[in-house]
Amino acid sequence: MNRKQRRELRKNKDLIKELYSIINKYLPDLLNMFSNLTDGRNESYITYEMKTICVTRLFSLLCGLTTMTDISSDTFNTDNCIKNLSKICGQDLRELPYWETIQDVFVNININELRNIQKYIVKTLIRSKMFDKFKYNGAFQLVFDGTGLSNHDYNLNNNCLIRKHKDGKVSYYKYVLECKLVVGNIIISLDSEFIENEKMLTEKQKQDCEIKAFKRMIKRIKKNYPKYKFIITGDALYAVEPIIEICEKNKWNYIFNLKPDRLKEINSTFEGNILCFNEVKHQNYYLSTNINYRNHILSAFKYI
């Protein structure tokens, strides 16, 4: 959504009501699940209920506000918005929660409780059958990719990934691995796993990385969605035998980008097939099937 689309969206005075109607129809338990989140705040200092905190942040995002500070701006914090959110949250609001209040609460929310909400959203939408037409051979496509969240000149929370530069400078990074369910032109977050150095006792220890995060996440996905078939999709980083074995063990299909420095035997065979015309040539791509790689039968294709 671009800036112009966000501006047009916010012009709709009934937008909050319409969004609530959609959520209530397709995810009827969602807002009540916010109420059940563990609240670690001192009860003596609580002004806004947990449901109000979460609903305010959710609806601000749905209204196209991408930053926390926008919540407290005149664009969102209007009398009409306060009135509508008061009814939705069941709390008499004179003002919306300030963005720093929301941020302080979110910092201490239990990640596993949020994952349960995430699982509820995904399973409820899948069970509605609305996405069945986007399956391929009965399987949903999952896309995995690591995303940089922020970088610092200090070790925030003492668990950042560390990069040492040639000039001696040290940078600290926050990364997360995202798993997205792809259904047509809709992308839904199915799971998230932080890539971070929680227990780095010495500099000789290996840092956390995207592949390690993938292995942690994939166990959770198998546990949460044991009966579903998936097509695991990723860039060339995932084109290694251990990841292939994980996919085949779980009876999932997989599509990975193939680069010369990854799975070199497959690359060599595929390029040889192209030179020898031992492949299927279509209008705009080459396709080789039944490539044998260490007891794995693979296919490779290349756009031309």
State which residues form the domain around 46: 3-109
User: What size, in residues, is the chain?
Assistant: 304
Q: Are residues 121 and 241 in the same domain?
A: yes
Q: Are residues 248 and 122 in the same domain?
A: yes
How far apart CA 138 and CA 109 sit, in angstroms, is 36
What local confidence, expressed as pLDDT, does residue 7 receive?
56
Instruction: Tell me which of 48, 81, 109 is where a domain ends.
Output: 109
Count of CA atoms in the C-beta half-sphere (13 A) of 21: 5
Q: Are residues 105 and 120 in the same domain?
A: no
* 3-state secondary structure (DSSP) of residue 239: coil
- Indicate the pLDDT class of residue 4, thresholds 50, 70 and 90: low
Q: Are residues 99 and 119 in the same domain?
A: no
Q: Is residue 165 scored above 80 in pLDDT?
A: yes
139: nearest Cα among 73, 232, 239: 232
Average pLDDT for the chain: 89
Q: Are residues 18 and 99 in the same domain?
A: yes
Q: Are residues 181 and 274 in the same domain?
A: no
Q: Are residues 65 and 162 in the same domain?
A: no
How far apart CA 245 and CA 179 sit, in angstroms, is 19
- Indicate the pLDDT class of residue 197, thresholds 50, 70 and 90: confident
What local confidence, expressed as pLDDT, does residue 232 receive?
98
Mean pLDDT of 180-186: 96
Instruction: Tell me which of 54, 82, 109 is where a domain ends.
Output: 109
Is the distance from CB of 85 to CB of 62 less than 8 angstroms?
Answer: no
What local confidence, expressed as pLDDT, does residue 279 receive?
60
Q: Which CATH number is 208's domain given?
A: 3.90.350.10
Q: Is residue 198 scored above 60 in pLDDT?
A: yes
Q: Are residues 131 and 242 in the same domain?
A: yes
Q: Are residues 231 and 269 in the same domain?
A: no
Q: How many domains does the chain have?
A: 3
Q: Are residues 162 and 233 in the same domain?
A: yes
176: nearest Cα among 200, 154, 145, 155: 145
Q: Are residues 199 and 132 in the same domain?
A: yes
Q: Are residues 120 and 251 in the same domain?
A: yes
Q: Is residue 8 scored above 90 in pLDDT?
A: no
Instruction: Tell me which of 91, 109, 127 is where a domain ends.
Output: 109
What local confidence, expressed as pLDDT, does residue 9 receive?
53
The per-residue pLDDT for range 16-49, each reduced to its tens digit, is 999 999 999 999 999 999 999 999 898 888 999 9
- Indicate the pLDDT class of residue 230, thresholds 50, 70 and 90: very high
Q: Is residue 203 scored above 70 in pLDDT?
A: no
